[in-house]
Amino acid sequence: MTHDHPAATDRAAPRPFGRLLTAMVTPFTADGSLDLDGAARLAAYLVDEQGNDALVVNGTTGESPTTSDAEKERLVRVVVEAVGGRAQVVAGVGTNDTRHTIELAGAAEKAGAHGLLVVTPYYSKPPQAGLFGHFTAVADATGLPVMLYDIPHRSGVPIATETLCRLAEHERIVAAKDAKGDLTATSWVTSRTDLAFYSGEDALTLPALAIGCVGLVGTSTHLTGALTKQMIEAYERGDQVTALALHRQLLPLFTGIFRTQGTILVKAALAAHGLPAGPVRPPLVDATEAEVAQLRADCADAGLELPS
């Protein structure tokens, strides 16, 4: 089955993946195996109830460090089948091994993904020339649009402004997930390129929009998606009062979802709502009762209920 998403391949598209993307958790069954039915149901909930324009599967929030290549491919296929006709599916394929990343990119493309999220190679700290070569090799090896993922506090290395500007010249590198937390650096790139920048930090979405970002790849948006999209749309239509009010309302969850670790608390919240989630895989550990109680308080502060 193929899906025609012209915006995803249009170099001039201002927001190739829409306004709101959620980095989806990967549901597991009680014994820790992949819950494909649950993944389909969760994807439908995120698109139909929370208003996501696209979903990222196999990202860090999706526990990509502890899922196998075969599980990653099956997950892409199932999510594309579930929601691919009404939302884009962006596959996380980034590793710290260029050859392996290219293999994952090929598998995701065959499985029907509409785009790729490629994180900075982590731990090994390659120089900027290595980052440029890595991202270029991946983009050369695929027919899909690529979103770079700049998250130096996890990867150990930032993608420098000059490197981002050079990478933006590649016809398939169309977007960046920006979790650098440096709005000045982001401003330079958005002013010098046509890369579509998506905030990679929920709480910085509103200020990021002010300097040229076009949306969010979120984690708390498993819960806050509909209201976060309202915030983005309010800002875009010039209603900054509403946008700021929503930012302030959602701030307790924009930040609170990361108190312990994003995946852990999202799965706890989904379980409380009776949505597919299941346990996390080691070395992550499931949320404690105290952590869930704090999450419930954060939800209440954001005007959202977390069932007991």
Strands 173-178 and 215-218: unpaired
pLDDT at 289: 97
Q: pLDDT, tens digit, for every residue of 123-152?
A: 999 999 999 999 999 999 999 999 999 999
Confirm whether 3 is domain-assigned. Answer: no
Sign of CA dihedral 220, 221, 226, 232: positive
Confirm whether 118 is domain-assigned. Answer: yes
Average pLDDT, the chain: 95
pLDDT at 3: 40
Confirm whether 255 is domain-assigned. Answer: no
pLDDT at 2: 37
Confirm whether 134 is domain-assigned. Answer: yes
Confirm whether 269 is domain-assigned. Answer: no
Total domains, the chain: 1
Structure token digits, residue 304:
């959202």
pLDDT at 242: 98
Confirm whether 297 is domain-assigned. Answer: no
User: In this model, does residue 42 exceed pLDDT 80?
Assistant: yes
Helix runs in 141-261, H state only: 152-155, 161-167, 183-192, 205-210, 221-236, 240-256
User: In this model, does residue 11 exceed pLDDT 60?
Assistant: no
Confirm whether 288 is domain-assigned. Answer: no
| Binding positions | 61, 217
Catalytic residue (one of 45, 122, 149, 235): 149
Confirm whether 45 is domain-assigned. Answer: yes
pLDDT at 308: 87
pLDDT at 304: 97
Q: Categorize the per-residue pLDDT at 5 as very low, low, confident or very high, splitting at 50, 70 and 90.
A: very low
Return all residues near 50 (Cβ < 8 A) that are at least 6 apart.
22, 221, 222, 223, 225, 226, 229
CATH code for the domain of 155: 3.20.20.70
Q: pLDDT, tens digit, for every residue of 99-122?
A: 999 999 999 999 999 999 999 999
| Binding positions for pyruvate | 61, 217
Q: pLDDT, tens digit, for every residue of 229-244?
A: 999 999 999 999 999 9
Catalytic site residue 177?
A: yes
Quote the pTM value. Answer: 0.95
Question: What domain range is 41 assigned to?
Answer: 12-243+275-280
Distance between CA 281 and CA 304 in Å, rounded? 27
Q: Categorize the per-residue pLDDT at 14 as very low, low, confident or very high, splitting at 50, 70 and 90.
A: confident
Catalytic residue (one of 177, 180, 229, 267): 177
